[in-house]
A and B are shown apart, each in its own frame.
Chain A
Amino acid sequence: DQQVKQNSPSLSVQEGRISILNCDYTNSMFDYFLWYKKYPAEGPTFLISISSIKDKNEDGRFTVFLNKSAKHLSLHIVPSQPGDSAVYFCAATPTLGRLYFGRGTQLTVWP
C-alpha cells in the first residue's frame, strides 16, 4: 500500500515556463515532506523540504506548497531550465528520518 503517490510518471515543459510536480499522501502521521532530484547514474540529492506547520517554503526557483487538509503537496519550478530535467521524488516522514518515497516523476525541460 503506497503511502506517498506521484500519479504523473512524466512531465514535459518548455524552458522558461513553470513546472508543477504533484504528490499525494495517505498517512496523517506524516509531518515532514521533502523533494529529491535524481540524475541518471547518480544518487538522489535533496532539493527542498517543508514542515507540516507551514504551507509554503521557497528556495530560489523552487517552491513547495503543502495542503494538509487535502494531503497534497506540489513543487513549483519557475522558470524551468534544461538542467532541471531529472526524476523528482516526493518523500514524507513521520519520525526518526525514515522516508517514504513516491515512484517519481520524470521532468523534461525542452528549449
Chain B
Amino acid sequence: NAGVTQTPKFQVLKTGQSMTLQCAQDMNHEYMSWYRQDPGMGLRLIHYSVGAGITDQGEVPNGYNVSRSTTEDFPLRLLSAAPSQTSVYFCASSYIRGSYKMNTEAFFGQGTRLTVV
C-alpha cells in the first residue's frame, strides 16, 4: 500500500526555472492538498482540491499553480522559481469530512526538499 507518493525527493532549481512537483495517492481520497514547511513557520497550505476538477487557494498560493484531472494525482507547478520558494513541500490526502467515510486525518507524503539558487 503506497499511500501518498511524492517525486522528486530533492531538487535544486535556478531562479526563474519552472518545474512540477508530483503527488499521487492510491487511497481514493477526495481531498488533496499541498503544504510548505519553513523553519519556525509550521505547515502552511498552498493549494487544495476537494475532487477532480476542483481546486482552491490556501494561505500562500502566489507563485504556484495546481490542477486535478484525476482523483489520484495532484501536481504542484512552480511557474518561475524564486529563492523565497526554497522549502520542504508536503502533499497530503484525506477523505472529506461529512462523508460516510469516518477517517478524516490527512496522510502525508515523504516531502520534496526544494532549493532555489
Binding site for B on A (CB under 8 A): 6, 9, 32, 34, 36, 41-46, 49, 89, 91, 93, 95-104
Q: Evaluate contact between B42 and A96: CB separation under 8 angstroms.
A: no
State whether the Cβ of B97 lies closer than 8 Å to any Cβ in chain A: yes
18 A-B pairs whose Cβ atoms sit less than 8 Å apart in the complex: A34-B105, A36-B108, A41-B110, A41-B111, A42-B110, A43-B4, A43-B90, A43-B108, A44-B43, A44-B90, A93-B97, A96-B50, A96-B96, A97-B50, A97-B104, A98-B33, A99-B45, A101-B42
Interface size for B (C-beta < 8 A) is 28
Q: Evaluate contact between B42 and A89: CB separation under 8 angstroms.
A: yes
In the complex where A43-B90, A95-B97, A96-B31 touch, is A102 in contact with B45 (Cβ < 8 A)? no
Q: Evaluate contact between A99 and B50: CB separation under 8 angstroms.
A: no
Distance in Å from the Cβ of B75 to the closest Cβ of chain A? Answer: 17
Binding site for A on B (CB under 8 A): 4, 31, 33, 35, 40-45, 48, 50, 58, 90, 92, 94-98, 104-111
In the complex where A34-B105, A96-B31 touch, is A103 in contact with B111 (Cβ < 8 A)? no
Q: Is the interface of A mostly helix, strand, loop or mixed?
A: loop
**16 more CB-based (< 8 A) A-B contacts, given A97-B31, A98-B58:** A9-B40, A41-B111, A43-B108, A44-B43, A46-B105, A49-B105, A89-B43, A95-B97, A95-B98, A96-B96, A96-B97, A97-B33, A97-B95, A99-B43, A99-B106, A101-B42
Closest 4 CB pairs of A and B: A43-B108, A103-B42, A46-B105, A97-B31
